[in-house]
Structure 1
Amino acid sequence: MVSLIQNNPSNLKEIYYKPLDIQREQNIITPSIIECVSQYCPWIIRLGVPIGTSQICHLVEILTSNVCQLKSLSIFRMDSDSWDNKELWRDLGGLMPTTLRHLNIWIYIGETPMILFLQNTSAPLETLYVRWWTHYLGYDFQLVDAYLKNKPIEFTGFVRHVI
């Protein structure tokens, strides 16, 4: 995957690499994928990558690039470190590009960090999928309703996985 990115940077507009469950369970990180995307493909349109907390800087590089055209972003947790950090999600919310329409988060996020993320994002999201909402959390309905309050999107059309 890394050599494909390095050898075809101007042709790649979509990269989606979802790790196998066994990779996540064993914390096998593929650090070079998101790093390569940040170095070679800052104009990517659709991106799905595994990410560890030590790799957030590469995600930030992609999101803040002056040529960022990202429309769809899927991030998959690849480490055992906690991502339930208020400042992290608040800051990431503020970095989401205005081109972003679809966001899929396969990482546990608590209620307060998610509220801060949604309050700080200027991305006009059309869909938002957070994997753990469907399994463990009960706050998602109120959170999404508050976010969608003045937007012409219905709850069921918003909370879904779109690549």
Structure 2
Amino acid sequence: MFVNKSVSSFPSVTEIIFKNINKNYLKVILLNIVLLFSGVLTGLFLIDFFNLFEEVHNYMYLIYITYTVVFIIITLLFFVGFKKRKFAVREKDISYKRGIFFKKLTTVPFSRIQHIEVDEALFSRFFKLASLSVYTAGDSSDDLVIKGITKKEALEIKEFISQKINE
């Protein structure tokens, strides 16, 4: 006969010891933000210089002020959000948490992992950083991505998980 017992005690998620993302990843984030906003600023200067939109020309100072405020807010959000990114590799699972306003904790048990990738983005390569992507069955996208860890650490985690899967 089938018996389904109630669980009376749960393992505590707060007992997980999380590790911070590499500090150099903040430089990568800020570099990406500066490049993006530099392109937008160049476009604004060209519109202003060549007076491409006459009806907008009178309000360019408001556009520049709005641009500056948006740049500062986005930079601060990424800076604060960077400090909230943490990961943990335990004996049977890997966890990643992030978020400022909406906190998200993703835990993937090794038994569900189908594939693991280590990727290096353009600017991350300069700082010897990589991202670790973990894929599980039944989903077409990566279930867990840890960006901003050293390439060496990403390869070590990949090897550790691969060994655990093959046991």
Structure 1 length-normalised TM: 0.24
Higher strand share: 2
Larger radius of gyration: 2
* TM superposition score normalised by structure 2: 0.24
Higher helix share: 2
